[in-house]
Amino acid sequence: MLTIAGLGLLGDWIVRSKTSPVELAAGAIMLVGAVPMRGGLTGGELLVIAATYRTRSHWLSVAMVPRGSAWELHARGDVTIRGYELQHRGRLDLSGADLDNAQRLSEMAVGLSMRGETGHVSLHVNSTPEGASTLMTLEADALACEGWRESPQLVREVVGVEASESSIRLLERWAYLRTGGGALRVLRVRDFSAASSGRALLEELQQSSTGASIALHLDVVEGGKAQRIAARAVHRMGSDGAASRAAGFRRTARSVRALERVGQREELVASGEALLRIGVFVTVRADTIDELRACTKEVIRRGEQSGLRIERGVGRQLAWYCFQLPGGPGW
């Protein structure tokens, strides 16, 4: 839209006489704002992020308050959650237990969508030098499926609050966060469309030697609302395609595949499957800034090799840190 508006203003300034220099300046600013920059942002988006970064506080306090076996988490928002740890049984991929777990999670999502309200589920693969653990967090009144045991302590470990503490404080910099024990950076996986269908989408990231932690957030949309969203998406994409063809533009193979996927999603939702809004965040931790930069490059390289589009989150590290927390305060 900025490109079209900018070209329109510049074209009008060229063909008409006695036009204002303001029109020329506005057109040039719009074109510059539409120029793609590194990390998937346009020049205009980067300017807005930088202006917001300059005008807000860069300190964040994350507090955890026990509520029986649940936790009340305070960050940019407040949420009460229960944490459940996956009961690993050796190499899941050899035993077939991974497929059973995936099926049970899918059934749980369908059950949440039929409650008549939106539910939130988050999965956290927490990597440490001692090994990896998998945490699932649910709203306080929801129950986990088979194969998960309640683990309040793992919630504390994933957040990073020591047993002797009730909160942590973080200081935001342009591209990372300072903590009491070092530094961390939060990345976001934005696009899976180029990923291979023959492998797990996040397999490369999980095999990274950098010790990155992965947070997968799922908003389970209520059944009736899900059907309306899916139907509107199909209608919007179909209308956009018809308008493009009428204007003389040929549809690309990528847009055709996108329309096919949206149509398949509408059919699945209509048959009773749950509609999920998905957010994937990768948190990289290190003792020094140089180590953090090296680890971040490794994670991004592995993600791009597996077909994932990863955003770096410059100027938005505090917000993204809160988004990836268990329960997703403010997500």
Beta bridge partners of 310: 189
Beta pairing class for 177-179 and 148-150:
unpaired
For residue 278, the model assigns a pLDDT of 84
> What tens digit of pLDDT does each residue of 194-214 get?
666 666 677 777 766 667 899
Beta strands in 157-291 (DSSP E): 167-172, 177-179, 182-191, 213-221, 275-286
pLDDT above 60 (res 3)? no
pLDDT above 60 (res 95)? no
Stated as kind and residue range, the H or E segment containing 123 is strand 119-128
| Rounded Cα distance, 184 and 295, in Å | 10
For residue 120, the model assigns a pLDDT of 85
pLDDT band (50, 70, 90) for residue 236: low
Of 69 and 30, more confident: 69
For residue 214, the model assigns a pLDDT of 92
Of 199 and 49, more confident: 49
SS3 183: strand
> What tens digit of pLDDT does each residue of 257-313 get?
666 666 666 676 666 667 778 889 999 999 999 999 999 999 998 888 888 889 999
> What tens digit of pLDDT does each residue of 266-275 get?
676 666 667 7
Q: What's the rounded mean pLDDT across residues 73-84?
A: 91
Of 277 and 230, more confident: 277
> What tens digit of pLDDT does each residue of 122-155 get?
999 887 667 778 999 998 887 888 889 999 999 9
pLDDT above 80 (res 35)? no
Max mean pLDDT range (9-18, 72-81, 123-132): 72-81
Stated as kind and residue range, the H or E segment containing 59 is strand 59-67
In the block, residue with structure tokens 């490794």:
298
Of 96-100, 123-127, 155-159, the range with the lowest mean pLDDT is: 96-100
pLDDT band (50, 70, 90) for residue 114: low
Residues 6+ apart with CB under 8 A from 83: 71, 135, 136, 137, 150, 151, 152, 154, 155, 158, 326
pLDDT above 80 (res 327)? yes
Of 34-38, 244-248, 322-326, the range with the lowest mean pLDDT is: 244-248
Of 176 and 26, more confident: 176
Q: Supply the pTM of this predicted model.
A: 0.79
Residues 6+ apart with CB under 8 A from 127: 211, 212, 213
Of 227 and 220, more confident: 220
